[in-house]
Amino acid sequence: MNARSAAQEEKRRLILDAAVRVFARRGYHASRVGDIAEEAGVAHGLLYHYFRSKDEVLATIFRENWGTLVGRFRDVAASPTTAEEKLRGIAKILLRSWIRDPDLVTVMIREVARSPHLQAQVAEIGDGFAVIRSVVEQGLADGEFREDVDPLFATWIFYGGLEELLTGWVLGQLPHGDADVARAEEMVVAVVCGGLVRR
């Protein structure tokens, strides 16, 4: 990567970061290309040098960040520990991303999670599920988890719990201080792994 590309890369980042802030603030549909350009401090035509369309900006945001998360999921899944600990690790990664970059999480939760449109563009979207599922299946294979567990549904239920917590924070409906995030993380593992019912 030479000096030129580094400068280019920097501008690309500028635009992506601006887009995250703008999408978080106004939502994807209500955000105009001009808003992003203004936030980035460039002319709006420049956006089209780096991205094919407004849509591609959103897809790029998702792809790059989701890819990072999934990579970290994989690290956790590859570590030598129990399935429960691995689920805890995944929960920690996902939930703490809220603290690290709330705008980014806002965009990913709000704009991407449910859009069949984007799902088509971003094949990687299923990768996170695959990692979680492999952990669940390990738990089953090891006899750590109950054998009547359906790994596919269990994966979605676990992920749903995580996503809903993020949603609660995005929508401002759940307390979201650092301590709250830590407690949420404990709760999601406690509930999903240990169940609500007193043993």
State the residues that interact with its own copies by CB under 8 A.
Answer: 27, 29, 83-84, 109-110, 113-117, 119, 126, 136, 139, 143-150, 152-154, 156-165, 167-168, 170-171, 173-175, 183-184, 187-188, 190-199
Query: Between helices 178-189 and 151-170, what is the axis angle to 10°?
Result: 160
Which residue pairs, CB below 8 angstroms and at least 24 apart, start in 100-105? 101/20, 102/24, 102/169, 102/170, 103/20, 103/21, 103/23, 103/24, 103/25, 104/20, 104/24, 104/61, 104/65, 105/166, 105/169, 105/170
Give min distance, CB of 53 to DNA, in A.
3
What is d(CA 167, CA 146) in angstroms, rounded to the nearest whole number? 29
Among 11, 25, 72, 74, binds DNA (CB under 7 A): 11
Among the residue ranges 32-40, 86-94, 98-106, 184-192, the one whose residues contact DNA (CB under 7 A): 32-40
Polymer length in residues for the chain: 199
Q: Which does 126 bind (CB under 5 to 8 A by kind): DNA, its own copies, none?
A: its own copies
> In whole angstroms, how large is the CA radius of gyration of the chain?
19
For residue 8, state whether it binds DNA (rule: CB under 7 A). yes
Among the residue ranges 44-52, 104-112, 122-130, 166-174, the one whose residues contact DNA (CB under 7 A): 44-52
Q: Which does 45 bind (CB under 5 to 8 A by kind): its own copies, DNA, none?
A: DNA
Give min distance, CB of 52 to DNA, in A.
7
Q: Comparing C-alpha atoms, which of 100, 83, 194, 193 is closest to residue 139?
A: 83
What is d(CA 166, CA 173) in angstroms, rounded to the nearest whole number? 10
Residues 109/56, Cβ–Cβ less than 8 Å: no
What is d(CA 3, CA 139) in angstroms, rounded to the nearest whole number? 48
Q: Which does 78 bind (CB under 5 to 8 A by kind): its own copies, DNA, none?
A: none
Q: Which is nearer to DNA, 34 or 175 (CB)?
A: 34
Q: Which does 130 bind (CB under 5 to 8 A by kind): its own copies, DNA, none?
A: none
Question: Within 49-78, which residues bind DNA (CB under 7 A)?
Answer: 49, 53-55
What is d(CA 21, CA 17) in angstroms, rounded to the nearest whole number? 6
Residues that bind DNA in the complex, under the rule CB under 7 A: 4, 7-8, 11, 30-34, 42-46, 48-49, 53-55
